[in-house]
Amino acid sequence: MTNFQNPIDPPEIVKGWIDNKVHHGKGKEIPVFYPGNGSQVSVLVEDTEDDIDKAVESARRTFDKTDWSKLSVEKRIEVLEACRQVILDNIDELALLECLGTGLILREIKGFHLQRAAYNFRFFAQYISQAHGERYDNTDGYLTLVNREPAGVVGLIAPWNAPMALATMKIAAAVAFGNCAILKPSEQTPFSLIKLATLLRDVLPEGVLNLVNGRGPVTGSSLVSHPGIDRISFTGGTVTGRQVMSDAGKQLTPCTMELGGKSANIVFASADYERALDGALIGIFSNNGQQCLAGSRILVQEKIFDKFVEEFVQRTKKIKVGDPLNDKTEIGPIASKQHMERILSFAENAQKEGDKVLVGGKRLSDQKTGFFIEPTAVLASSNNSKVCQEEIFGPFASFVPFKSEEEAISIANDTEFGLVSYIWSDHMPTIMKVSESMRSGVVWVNTPMMRELRAPFGGFKNSGVGREGGYSCEQFYTEEKTVSIPKTPLNLKKFGDEL
């Protein structure tokens, strides 16, 4: 049995970051584990209500009393580009810290997650360089301008499945539109984001990016409920999202919610078969299967169903699961013990409920310390089965056959979620009809996972509220102000002046 080594020497203790200084919170010490060997590697000091007060005061001070929110576009572009450079200059260390927290494969962290993190800042630098405004002339001689002003102090709540890529989208947007931010990383994966916050101290003035640590119901809910917060941007599970929105609603704080998914990956007989097979495997197994946009329900047309499933299973058996530091690894450990046990419980239940486990479903037998599971595929008894209705959020595919386009559409939409749909077909009328019928915020045709940052990303139904993307973020991270000015002096009605 192998016991994989930690990617990097872990920090002994993880603390918060307020006013560009280390902040020692008032709460408990929470253990943090490395998923690759299951051992506790560090503790984080939990921030409580008092600490949140300090973080909000600091952000508010910078927002209200300095020129941060009024920086010129040119200056702000420089700041965003400098943030990008900080990530690229420190990519090796940030990647190892991201790996330590998440167990994601180092190769993918460096090649994708951190490239995206850096690009998020460049994207918003480019976006604001072309920001547009509205102006209206009217026949009464008025000029009306619609100004966009920074929203204020924004709370950013990030999950554990891709901390750097997801949190930096929020940080970059907040900075681009002149806000001050308070970031709460997941308590499971604090290492890379706290490092980033400290590295950014030479670029961002104090109070622009504060970071608080701790569990959701303690630190997260104090942040969401704080009356000094003007926006909450949340990425996480649907159950938590409901709680966050209800807490924020008490202060009427606007929220965006990027929540879970149970996305249909629909493979028609008219598809390019090999490409669809590759796409289905990528759709469910990349990022250890822990992603909201995973194609976790694979619907395959009856004519090709048996062959497709058989070949999917054969390929799945060959996937290399193991050390995230090894260049050949394709799937690393699950992010936590609790999450691993939850995923495995779906495989156990599946047998009892009449579904058939085709491959996997167990913990890796030669690796009992880290949180490794076999990549899994299940033939569902129907789309009503638990494995088709609940978000499993791991390397776990559920197969369902369909006969016609109508049946595919009906099964695909038969879920509480509506984040993404994948369609594989070379028949244009099928592509058009099915994509128009999907109740999801995103549709990918003959491709897995294309993220165009200018376009909105988010979900229908229980997959979310609001969107992330260029214009969507501009709307969310700013307040609109309408200013009307007469172009020439007007003859106003004279109240109190006798007619």
Residues contributing to the site for ligand TXE (CB under 6 A): 157-159, 161, 184, 186-187, 215-217, 220-221, 224, 235-237, 240, 243-244, 258-260, 292, 391, 393
Residue whose C-alpha is closest to residue 99's, from 22, 160, 15, 186: 160
- Residue whose CB is less far from ligand TXE, 385 or 430: 385
Catalytic residue check, 292: yes
CB of 476 to ligand TXE, least distance (A): 17
Distance CA 2, CA 5 (A): 9
- Residue whose CB is less far from ligand TXE, 100 or 335: 335
Distance CA 289, CA 358 (A): 17
- Residue whose CB is less far from ligand TXE, 260 or 322: 260
CB of 125 to ligand TXE, least distance (A): 25
Which listed residue (46, 108, 258, 390) is catalytic? Answer: 258
Q: Look up residue 38 and give its two tokens.
A: 């299951």
Residue 308: exposure state from Cβ atoms within 10 A (0-12, 13-18, ≥19)? buried
CB of 290 to ligand TXE, least distance (A): 8
CB of 186 to ligand TXE, least distance (A): 4
Q: Which residue is nearest to ligand TXE (CB)?
A: 216
Strand runs (DSSP E) across 427-474, as ranges?
A: 442-445, 460-461, 464-465
The residue assigned the tokens 């049946």 is 407
**In 329-404, which ranges are continuous DSSP H helix?**
337-352, 386-389
- Residue whose CB is less far from ligand TXE, 190 or 360: 190
Distance CA 17, CA 263 (A): 37
CB of 481 to ligand TXE, least distance (A): 30
Which listed residue (99, 292, 388, 473) is catalytic? Answer: 292
| Residues 6 or more apart in contact with residue 430 via CB below 8 angstroms | 268, 270, 405, 423
Catalytic residue check, 206: no
Answer for the pair 350, 389: CB distance below 8 angstroms, yes or no: no
- Residue whose CB is less far from ligand TXE, 144 or 345: 345
Distance CA 227, CA 207 (A): 17
- Residue whose CB is less far from ligand TXE, 46 or 206: 46
- Residue whose CB is less far from ligand TXE, 161 or 478: 161
Answer for the pair 214, 27: CB distance below 8 angstroms, yes or no: yes
For the sheet containing 180-184, what is the strand order? 21-23, 16-18, 209-211, 180-184, 153-157, 231-235, 255-258, 464-465
Distance CA 22, CA 14 (A): 9
CB of 421 to ligand TXE, least distance (A): 16
Q: Look up residue 361 and give its two tokens.
A: 């479903």
CB of 224 to ligand TXE, least distance (A): 5
Active site residues: 258, 292
